[in-house]
Amino acid sequence: MTDSGSHADIKRLIIETLDLRGRTEDDIDDDEPLFGGRLGLDSLDALELAVALESRFGVAVPDGEEGREVFASVASIARYVAAGAKLPK
């Protein structure tokens, strides 16, 4: 099975990439803030997650405010991946 960018795929990517031991997909709400919330993610986590999204889904996460909007929640990441924001060739 290949990753499709579904909410479950994004949650697994977050858990695996950021080594969130003891967390499961059910522990992360689709619309929960990823940063500044109970997950406790920081700017280094954002960088790791951006690299993982690029590697797994072929999408480049922009810097600045647009990037913050992408990383707002699992749902916003899934929408971004689904929109096909592909890497420049």
What is the band of 39 on the pLDDT scale with cuts at 50, 70, 90? confident
Q: Is residue 89 situated within a structural domain?
A: no
For residue 14, what pLDDT is reported? 96
In this predicted structure, the answer to whether residue 57 has a pLDDT above a threshold of 80 is yes
* H-only helix segments in the chain: 7-17, 43-57, 64-70, 74-82
Q: State the CATH number of the domain containing residue 76.
A: 1.10.1200.10
Q: Is residue 64 situated within a structural domain?
A: yes
Q: Is residue 25 situated within a structural domain?
A: yes
Domain that holds residue 36: 7-82
Q: Is residue 88 situated within a structural domain?
A: no
**What pTM was estimated for this model as a whole?**
0.86
Q: Is residue 55 situated within a structural domain?
A: yes
Q: Among residues 75, 74, 67, which one has the least CA distance to residue 50?
A: 67
Domain count, the chain: 1
Q: Is residue 28 situated within a structural domain?
A: yes
Q: Is residue 19 situated within a structural domain?
A: yes
